[in-house]
Amino acid sequence: DAKTTQPPSMDCAEGRAANLPCNHSTISGNEYVYWYRQIHSQGPQYIIHGLKNNETNEMASLIITEDRKSSTLILPHATLRDTAVYYCIVSTDKLIFGTGTRLQVFP
Amino acid sequence: EAQVTQNPRYLITVTGKKLTVTCSQNMNHEYMSWYRQDPGLGLRQIYYSMNVEVTDKGDVPEGYKVSRKEKRNFPLILESPSPNQTSLYFCASSLPSYEQYFGPGTRLTVT
């Protein structure tokens, strides 16, 4: 079973920040937090990952709480093309996909 | 361009007719794996390979075989397909403990 809990769906207005939460209260010390997304039925796409510190790349930012029991993926300026299912995964190597959050970006 | 390719992309076949779905990556990745995706069940790992000639079962290996004779290729073999193997299949590759790159998917229908 997936070790994360995510809301099943969220909406976001185009141009606004999309903040996607994830709870992973049973995360162990050597497990990373990964985020992937899947647009329609395409192959999942890696977004970002982190261990303890907040991370930022060209796609998104990842904020991990100090106790590491939850995290938030931030898409700073959502576009229509960001409409997808977003998966939060905690892992050392093997990916276990849950059902993710379906993000709908609207005009 | 760095990529994972799968062939075929779409396949309709009949019960019991052996088939192979090919997967190839051009990134010199050691790790490769196969997933299937079914509505309401998310992606589930079928088999994975840590390197050439090293393969292991994932969560749902029944009815599937794999081989890893070369680093770049990781074919998925269905010796005797059944309708419950109708699914969307993804191949992925990565360096060990790094992010995985996924192929475009193969939609298989077994009648």
Q: Find the residue in B nearest to A91 (Cα).
A: B97
Say how many CB pairs under 8 Å bridge A and B. Answer: 44
Task: Give the per-residue pLDDT at B17.
Answer: 97
pLDDT digits (tens, 9 = 90+) for A86-99: 999 998 777 888 88
A104 pLDDT tier (thresholds 50, 70, 90): very high
Mean pLDDT along residues A102-107: 97
Q: How far is A15 from chain B (nearest CA, A)?
A: 28
Contact A46 B88 (CB under 8 A): no
> pLDDT at residue A1 above 60?
no
pLDDT digits (tens, 9 = 90+) for A32-65: 999 999 999 899 999 999 999 999 999 999 999 9
Task: Give the per-residue pLDDT at A83.
Answer: 98
Long-range contacts of B39-44 (CB under 8 A, 24+ apart): B40/A99, B42/A2, B42/A87, B42/A97, B42/A98, B42/A99, B42/A100, B43/A44, B43/A95, B43/A97, B43/B90, B44/A97
SS3 of residue A39 by DSSP: coil
Within 13 Å and on the Cβ side, how many CA atoms surround A57? 8
pLDDT digits (tens, 9 = 90+) for A10-35: 999 999 999 999 999 999 888 999 99
* Residues on chain A touching B95 (C-beta within 8 angstroms): none
What is the average pLDDT value for chain A, to the nearest integer?
93
Contact B92 A43 (CB under 8 A): yes
Q: List the single residue in B44, B102, B107 with the smallest CB-CB distance to A44.
A: B102
What is the average pLDDT value for chain B, to the nearest integer?
95
Instruction: Locate the DSSP E strands across B28-102.
Output: 31-38, 42-51, 54-57, 65-66, 76-78, 87-94, 101-102
Task: Give the per-residue pLDDT at A94.
Answer: 79
Tens-level pLDDT at each residue, chain B (111 residues): 889 999 999 999 999 999 999 999 999 999 999 999 998 888 999 999 999 999 999 999 999 999 999 999 999 999 999 999 999 999 999 998 788 999 999 999 999
